[in-house]
Structure 1
Amino acid sequence: MNNIITFLNQGVKSTLNSMALALLSCHEIKDDNGQVAGYRAEVLPLSDSSRYVKRDGEIVDGPNALHSFNVIVNSTDIPENKGMIQGIKLINPRFVSAFATSQLNGTFATIGTTLVCDNIVLPNTQQPKRGDR
């Protein structure tokens, strides 16, 4: 996530609904027995119609546009994507962790998050295929 301010202000579902999302890539996540338990998807907001106002009055439009982020998808229906798939929707997205890291004697911390969803819905022209790898 490039900027989590809009997620904090508007909530996860509302903020993601204000974005046009594209699926860039998928990578299997396997359990201890080698079975596919889900996948990690790289998602790119092509456009972001959300905004926020900084303390000094500066208005920031589309803070997450064109900054990709990863989502852990709790589904074994892994899409076979051959390139970017535009117009995807995340089903039941939620943050499951937030953490900060900083440098020794540093002034700022980097905030990290883990975003999870139940599935990704592709546009009508493409449907996920059962991951039987």
Structure 2
Amino acid sequence: MKKEVNLGVILSEPCVDTYVRYLAAFKVVESDYGLFDKLARPRDIEDFASTVYSSIRVQERVLKRLQEGLEKGLYEVLGEIKDVSKAFRIGKECVSKIIELAKDNPRFIGSIIASLALAYEGVKSKG
């Protein structure tokens, strides 16, 4: 039986916000919407963790392409971002926190995170 998850806790968690920002950059740079489908529909916590891994595995490439795209004028970021890595990087503490939050109801947490990342307008392609 799934435990009830407090949506307010999810939405106020800084690590969720960090991951949402990173996934928004991932969306613009990689254009891999299949990852968002997998994140929103995990079978269990192991499937959720595997999807998180898949997104983080390419983090260096995503951040490098985002930085290059910003310099070339291909992308725009809301606000003044001086350090793309600092603004969009997801670290091990946040990965652990997100998996901990998702352990009781990974489908709900994954759906919320995927929806927020897809709706995030702080990173856009100019093309």
TM over 0.5: same fold?
no
The structure richer in helix per residue is 2
The structure richer in strand per residue is 1
TM-score normalised by structure 1 residue count: 0.25
Larger-gyration structure (1/2):
1
TM-score normalised by structure 2 residue count: 0.26
